[in-house]
């Protein structure tokens, strides 16, 4: 079964652990036919049927079935994993779920469902996964949910820093975020997927299982680094405090100070990015990350010459104020909410200025497929307001929601930070 949120997952870029590792997709299974090995490697209680993998079928209380990943997966230090999940649990007290664990039995991530609660776990007892008694259950966070729906789980697994960034959403066009966060874990690699029948009966179904290794690993090089961010609402987060810089800093254990504000411009008005820079701390950060141009991209007011001068002045001011900092400019995605020709003009100007001053570019516009001129992408990847406390969907095409941030912006920024901080190279 191919879904819109599975397309989101397909766009996520991942990081390989060493120079010898091969980045890219390690597993991409849609269960449209029987797998090899059969039933995705689960020895019991599993079957591939009607385009999905069913597990914990006909199993007894406290029993497990284990899929073991190969040595290539176990050797990766950074992984991105997405999958769709649903449970048929319907009776009070019944609970089934899946656990991701390392080769020592430490927990990486877990997901489960009862008749009324969606549960996820990030910590818990070490287990050899031979069985799933109550004493070996993860420490659950419990959420009310609609058991009849499918849910999409997106995980960024960093075994160097021993951290996981997670996003759990309903699998539908107007998806609803159930949980999102970043946490420390005890797991040190990924070696097994465990299907658990904790109690009662209830077949679980899994679909669109995609596991990848990124092309530009941080490998802990960004840990402890400081980052200042400047720009408009795309950097600030719009109505949600965790924008793409925030999620990047969470992943990499960086210290972030945000100066960006909604509505900021490069050239005109009283809310200029240059003012943010002038008012910021004189203490030099390791990285200065900024965008600029979204609120200048109106053809009736855009003046190329004035914009060029203003952007040049902004970058020169950054360079003069923090000469030791690495500057990273983030091009925003292709916007369905702005004039196309003006976007192209701004792109040309900003890239020329960045090249002149040795600014590394995180090129979301050119290096990703995020394009909200395509209506399905606008609906899936942008938001206006919050739903359930998290960014919703069906936005104007300007502000990326969590799916847009994690699929496109965070990988692009991480790659640029590594290039800027690791080699000093410039696009």
Enumerate domains of the chain plus CATH numbers: 4-213 (2.60.120.200), 226-422 (3.40.50.1110)
CA distance 203 to 198: 12
CA distance 304 to 349: 8
Residue among 168, 159, 101 nearest 141 (CA): 168
Using the 8-state DSSP alphabet, how is residue 357 labeled?
A: H
Partners of 210 in the β-ladder: 28, 82
- Taking the model in full, what pTM does it have? 0.92
Angle at 40 between CA 38 and CA 43, to 5 degrees: 70
Cβ atoms of 195 and 95 within 8 Å: the answer is no
Q: Measured between alpha carbons, how far apart are the two ends of the chain, in Å?
A: 38
- What pLDDT tens digit does each residue of the chain (427 aa) get? 334 333 333 333 333 333 334 569 999 999 999 999 999 999 999 999 999 999 999 999 999 999 999 999 999 999 999 999 999 998 888 999 999 999 999 999 999 999 999 999 999 999 999 999 999 999 999 999 999 999 999 999 999 999 999 999 999 999 999 999 999 999 999 999 999 999 998 899 999 999 999 989 898 999 999 999 999 999 999 999 999 999 999 999 999 999 999 999 999 888 999 999 999 999 999 999 999 999 999 999 999 999 999 999 999 999 999 999 999 999 999 999 999 999 999 999 999 999 999 999 999 999 999 999 999 999 999 999 999 999 999 999 999 999 999 999 999 999 999 999 854 333 2
CB-count exposure of residue 298 (10 Å: 0-12, 13-18, 19+)? exposed
CA distance 154 to 157: 10
Question: How many Å is the Cα radius of gyration of the chain?
Answer: 23
């Amino acid at each position: 079964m191919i879904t819109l949120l599975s397309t989101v997952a397909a766009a996520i870029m991942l990081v390989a652990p060493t120079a010898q590792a091969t980045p890219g997709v390690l597993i991409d299974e849609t269960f449209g036919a029987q797998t090899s090995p059969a039933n995705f490697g689960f020895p019991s209680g599993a079957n591939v049927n009607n385009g999905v993998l069913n597990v914990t079928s006909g199993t007894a209380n406290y029993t497990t079935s284990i899929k073991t990943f190969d040595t290539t997966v176990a050797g990766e230090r950074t992984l991105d994993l997405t999958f769709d999940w649903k449970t048929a649990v319907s009776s009070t007290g019944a609970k089934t779920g899946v656990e991701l664990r390392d080769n020592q039995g430490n927990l990486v991530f877990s997901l489960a469902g009862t008749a009324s609660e969606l549960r996820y776990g990030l910590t818990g007892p070490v287990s050899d996964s031979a069985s799933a008694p109550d004493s070996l259950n993860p420490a659950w966070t419990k959420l009310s949910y609609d058991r009849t729906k499918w849910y999409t789980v997106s995980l960024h697994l960093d075994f160097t820093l021993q951290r996981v960034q997670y996003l759990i959403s309903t699998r539908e066009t107007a998806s609803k975020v159930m949980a999102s966060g970043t946490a420390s874990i005890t797991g040190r690699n990924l070696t097994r997927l465990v299907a658990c029948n904790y109690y009662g009966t209830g077949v679980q179904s899994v679909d669109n299982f995609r596991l990848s290794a990124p092309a530009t690993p941080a490998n802990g090089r960004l840990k402890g680094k400081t980052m200042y961010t400047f720009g408009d609402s795309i950097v600030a987060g719009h109505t949600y405090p965790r924008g793409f810089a925030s999620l990047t800093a969470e992943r990499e254990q960086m210290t972030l100070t945000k100066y960006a504000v909604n509505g900021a411009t490069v050239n005109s008005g009283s809310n200029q990015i240059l003012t943010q820079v002038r008012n910021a701390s004189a203490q030099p950060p390791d990285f200065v990350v900024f965008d600029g141009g979204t609120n200048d991209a109106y053809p009736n007011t855009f003046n190329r010459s004035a914009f060029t001068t203003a952007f040049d002045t902004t970058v020169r001011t950054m360079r003069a104020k923090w000469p030791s900092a690495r500057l990273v400019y983030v091009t925003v995605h292709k916007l369905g909410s702005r004039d196309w020709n003006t976007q192209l003009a701004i792109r040309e100007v900003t890239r020329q200025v960045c090249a002149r001053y040795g600014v590394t570019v995180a090129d979301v516009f050119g290096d990703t497929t995020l394009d909200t001129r395509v209506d399905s992408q606008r609906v899936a990847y942008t938001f206006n307001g919050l739903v359930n406390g998290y960014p919703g969907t069906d936005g104007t095409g300007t502000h990326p929601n969590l799916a847009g941030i994690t699929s496109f912006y965070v990988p692009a920024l991480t790659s640029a930070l590594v290039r800027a901080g690791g080699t000093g190279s410039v696009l």
